[in-house]
Structure 1
């Protein structure tokens, strides 16, 4: 009788456990099909990373072990993404297990398939990077500001994290992580996580990111850097020779955080710091949570280019907190962020400056629409990037058409309704991912139907080009700039007193709007009056160099200056603009000569783009 009773208890226990197991498995998120990742998260998905790596600057190799906690729906395998990595061994639940690297794809890399069991809770991959690893840029001491120690930084967006960590590299898969990073003792390591504020002397740094993030936001930088606080929760990292300049330039960071919170709710990442990297960094900024990576090209000395900081801060809500589920939905990250950025800038610096920024974006959008006129499907907000690199969708359409959609929507529903909607959108979807279709449903239920408003949402999202009801953005300041340019072109005279208080945005607008028939003599006259060739503002410099190339202006040693600029600045937007100008001006051989010496200073993100542009 006792034995029978015992067997009944055991049977009930097993049945209950199986039922609980089944219920627990049913609670796994329902992940979308993803064309840019080999992972099959509905079968088995990673939830936490414990990274233990050593960074060797002599061999330019990162090696170590990535240990993952996983959730398994009963599969006998888990698939990670890997590209240009040497996989040494893999364990599951602490025991050696079989693994297989599948066929190589130029964009996606290889699937790393790991054998697991139904009860596997953890896998560990021991690996090392290689010379082909695309996310890493190893810099010599000469390529840094201080020129005393080497530097390393990573860039994971969109699908490059798989080139320095074997991982499920899809934006819809969010994980927490811990990391132990061993570096040379004279250097300091920082990550998109809780960070040290000073060197520790032994070169071993420990990190924790307690909020779940997608793989593309895992970031690492190592160099001879210092930290300087702006407030209790904001501060900057930079090399010693740069730290004071950076601190002054970004001194409004705490004000920006407060302005952002006033708009759309609490900042959920505890700390907002910025690290200014060496000039080869390929983007203006990268919104790695807790630690934005930024280009030194925004250090203008007058805070005139700090809208970039507002943009990366805004990503703390749109992108990092609520993330595009796939790269086809990239506009959900960037269109929202540009809208939020411009609202922050308006709150701090006024509507005129905000509208100038918005108008420059509108001009960028028109340029992009013209460039994509042969491929109109690429001008839709919702893209189909299957079989293509997701970088193909990272252009002005996502940013500026996305912004214009939201700006037009705001004008239709009213700012108060728009703000209430966005605040609830960020709160409701915090630490999760969303695709375009779910956003449309949320928009209809929580803004349009609720306020009995009709809006052409699907035309904006699924049709090419810009709908006729697009908001019209105006700027009195830009109107005055246009009048000044028009007077100069008619009379060959310019009243410099009218330009004395111009912002960099006004100067950019002035230079960008030169007509095609502007003469070399007029270019020379403007350069003599305003010394554009030697401007210390990188944005003004870039647009002036573009016009110089397009109009065959060679005065004031501008050709040498352009070559120097392209050999020292790696920001992809700037670099590709100038190389594209060379191509348009049919000066391609000149461009290739410059590129021969410049390419080694560029991150792979920039170099790959220019390679294609120049047919190399």
Structure 2
């Protein structure tokens, strides 16, 4: 497989590789710091190795010991988003294939970008503090000195000291707990991850958690106020797991637990092995948003098992995961439903391309991230442009059953490895060696290396989409005198997914008159809907149509949860509405200290607000 450089990492992973990580951590809520000792088992990849380089960000390094011998180290110049390289001098030369154990004693800082520390008042229970991590894409270096690149995978073992009244969980199998011998008010929780993972999948949560078992290998965790609601919402998890196994082979991670995080979690879900993190915005009450769980389950194969080697090849993770997610949905519901989700995905892609600009190189399927923060590059492009490409190839190469055969073989061939697009493409040509003439007709440059929308739109079954299109066109074309023709019956036959699509279609049209959105509220009462996907699109539509009464509702949704999918578009719409702009900026500045560090940074950019020096409470 091709050798590449990771532009997002300082670590010289071609000269040496971490094989195992042994962590001893102490979580201190009083000062919002994790004290750590990381013992890294490192294998030399070359002869005469004299120096190691690890990624760090805002870490205080106290001491480095190599095979029991204290050694010299230095921190290089701090980069704006990559942190600072930790350079370690080895006491003696290492030869190729030789192992060494490097112990680094360190503390995190309260500004660690991977961590959000919540005081009790920002939790559901209001009694205990809460901590959670989010290491993707390049934030693991802010809690552990590491080779923070998806090119390197390692196993890990962790012992975590936490207040004894709280629960600690990690992206690993629980390996028991015991009283902390150094502090009677604390306990040590132990975890073991025996499947090698990239650093971005290291995860830690500490809080007042309760659990409910919902399947033979799945437990749902959250604060007690949400745990029963979550147990119902995610009750289909085992059937999704079994469907994925039927499609692409055995699930290798053992446990598949779910954790519902506090509302400030910036993503819909995070596929941490053995412990998927999810946002509470999925709790719609009717399981209508459970496709996010199918997506995170799919990552157990596409991303966690076979991983993009650098973030420039992120589509290998996300495009394949969306493809597998929708195959799961197609099996559980219908093939029409799979196509309907694909139609919605194409719309998401158009929205992202419109936001970036059709000539922006970050809309390439394989962009260059040289001096580009992966968080700033993050969008639905690798998800939906990647899916559209795979869906197009499926239609060219013989249909869904034939293409899932390729996907299963691909995952088997590259299991436990990190790869780039050329590795995938070479395997595609090898697998479909009898259809090379078809592959040669694919416009690879236009799909992979050109900005904007794909060169070809795949063919979709529009059965479920047509009702949404018809209703959206009625509203778009309605004169003021036609508004009385709309009533609550319009939505009766539309599922939650179709209602989302209806609003998404209106967001692609010229803004409606305010009279229309007022009438829509009268007859459909979208303000009362709990489904976050519907609510976010509805409020964006209202603000875009310049309905001033919706401003406080949009600000409320933008700040009561921190999911970037909702928060950023809502704030952007408010900023573009002259009568809401100043209030949007004031509201953001008021809430910024309580937001996740990544959310605060990205929304600040959207609102053209100077970055804060700290996001402390």
With the length of structure 1 as denominator, give the TM-score of the two structures.
0.92
Identify which of 51, 58, 61 aligns with 1:87.
Answer: 61
Range with bigger deviation, 215-224 or 373-382: 373-382
- Shift of the alpha carbon at 1:374? 5.6
Deviation at 1:612, TM superposition (A): 0.9
Whether the 8 Å CA contact 2:318–2:382 is kept in 1: the answer is yes
- 1:504-543 aligned at under 5 Å gives the runs 504-514=496-506, 515-543=509-537
Given the superposition, is the C-alpha separation of residues 591 and 171 from structure 1 closer, same or farther in structure 2, using an over 3 Å criterion? same
Report matched runs for 1:573-588 at 5 Å: 573-586=565-578, 587-588=580-581
Measured against aligned partners, the alpha-carbon deviations of 1:229-248 in whole angstroms (never above 9, x if no partner) come to 11221221111111110010
| 2:34 aligned partner | 62
- What are the within-5 Å matches in structure 2 for residues 389-538 of structure 1? 389-414=373-398, 415-449=400-434, 453-454=438-439, 455-456=441-442, 458-459=444-445, 460-488=447-475, 489-490=478-479, 491-492=482-483, 493-514=485-506, 515-538=509-532
Q: Distance in 1 between matches of 2:583 and 2:137?
A: 31
Distance in 2, Cα, partners of 1:526 & 1:169:
49
SS in structure 1 at match of 2:5: coil
- Encode CA deviations 1:202-249: one digit per residue, 9 max, x unaligned: 531000000000000000011111121112212211111111100100
Residue 572 of structure 1 pairs with residue 546 of structure 2: no
TM-fit CA distance, 1:142 = 1.5
* Alignment map for 1:302-451 (pairs within 5 Å): 302-373=286-357, 375-414=359-398, 415-449=400-434
Does the C-alpha gap of structure 1 residues 357 and 199 become closer, same or farther in structure 2, counting only changes over 3 Å?
A: farther
Is 1:183 aligned to residue 129 of structure 2? Answer: no
CA contact (8 A) 1:198 1:227 kept: no
Question: In structure 2, how many angstroms separate the alpha carbons of the residues matched to 1:485 and 1:43?
Answer: 57
Give me the whole-angstrom Cα distance separating, in 1, the residues matched to 2:64 and 2:177: 35
Per the alignment, do residues 411 and 165 of structure 1 end up closer, same or farther by CA in structure 2, a change over 3 Å counting?
same
1:147 maps to: 126
Change (3 A) 1:439 1:402: same
Other structure's SS at 1:270 match = coil
Helix, strand or coil: the match of 1:121? strand
Distance 1:426 1:68 in 2: 28
1:198/1:226 contact within 8 Å kept: no
Q: Secondary structure at the match of 1:70?
A: strand
For 1:540 and 1:323, the matched residues in 2 are separated by 32
Q: Residue 352 of structure 1: CA displacement?
A: 3.1
Note if contact 2:151-2:308 (Cα within 8 Å) is conserved in structure 1: yes
- Aligned: 1:548 with 2:542: yes
The 3 A distance-change label for structure 1 pair 501 and 147 is: farther
- Cα displacement (A) at 1:354: 2.2
Instruction: Look up the SS of the partner of 2:390 in the other structure.
Output: helix
Indicate the residue corresponding to 2:182 in structure 1: none
What corresponds to 1:595 in structure 2?
Answer: 588
Distance 2:576 2:358 in 1: 17
- 1:67 CA displacement: 0.5
Q: CA deviation at 1:350?
A: 1.6
Correspondence for 1:612: 605
- Cα distance in 2 for partners of 1:568, 1:583 equals 18
TM-superposed CA distance for 1:472, in Å, is 2.4
| SS of 1:183 mapped into structure 2 | strand
Change (3 A) 1:517 1:253: closer
How far the C-alpha of 1:366 sits from its partner, in A, is 1.0
- In structure 2, distance between residues paired with 1:146 and 1:501: 38
Paired residues of 1:545 and 1:578 also in contact (CA < 8 A): yes
Query: Residues of 2 paired with 1:551 and 1:577: CA distance?
Result: 15
CA displacement 1:237-286 (0-9 Å, x = unmatched): 11111111001000000000000011111111111111000000010001
Which segment drifts farther, 496-505 or 587-596? Answer: 496-505
**What secondary structure is seen at the aligned counterpart in 1 of 2:215?**
coil
Residues 54 and 85 in structure 2, CA contact (< 8 A), matched pair in contact too: yes
Structure 1 residue 269 corresponds to structure 2 residue 282 = no
Q: Is the 1:189–1:220 contact (alpha carbons within 8 Å) kept by the matching residues of 2? A: yes
Out of 108, 112, 129, the position equivalent to 2:82 is 108
Give the alignment of 1:278-297 within 5 angstroms: 278-297=262-281
Q: Quick check: 2:7–2:371 contact (8 Å CA) kept in 1?
A: yes
1:77 to 1:31, Cα distance in 2 relative to 1, 3 A: farther
Name the CA distance, whole Å, in 1 between partners of 2:581 and 2:313.
35
Aligned: 1:194 with 2:168: no
> Which range moved further: 369-378 or 116-125?
369-378
Matched, 1:135 2:135: no
Change in Cα spacing, 1:337 to 1:517, as seen in structure 2 (3 Å) is closer
8 Å Cα contact 1:140-1:149 kept in structure 2: yes
Deviation at 1:511, TM superposition (A): 2.1
Say if 2:10 is the partner of 1:38: yes
CA distance in 1, matches of 2:176, 2:542: 44
CA contact (8 A) 1:157 1:217 kept: yes
Between the aligned partners of 1:526 and 1:448, the Cα distance in structure 2 is 54
CA RMSD between the two structures: 1.9
The answer for the alignment partner of 2:102 in structure 1 is 123
Distance 1:504 1:261 in 2: 27
Corresponding residue for 2:214?
Answer: 230
Q: CA deviation at 1:461?
A: 1.4
Structure 2 stretches lacking a partner, 5+ long: 180-184, 610-617
CA 408–569 in structure 1, closer or farther in 2 if over 3 Å, else same: same
Instruction: Give secondary structure in 2 for the equivalent of 1:565.
Output: helix
- 1:152 aligns to what SS in structure 2? strand
Preserved CA contact (<8 Å) 2:264 2:562: yes
Native 8 Å contact 2:540 2:554 kept in 1: no
CA distance in 2, matches of 1:545, 1:339: 29
Q: Secondary structure at the match of 1:203?
A: strand
8 Å Cα contact 2:347/2:504 also seen in 1: no
**Distance in 2 separating the partners of 1:62 and 1:383:** 35
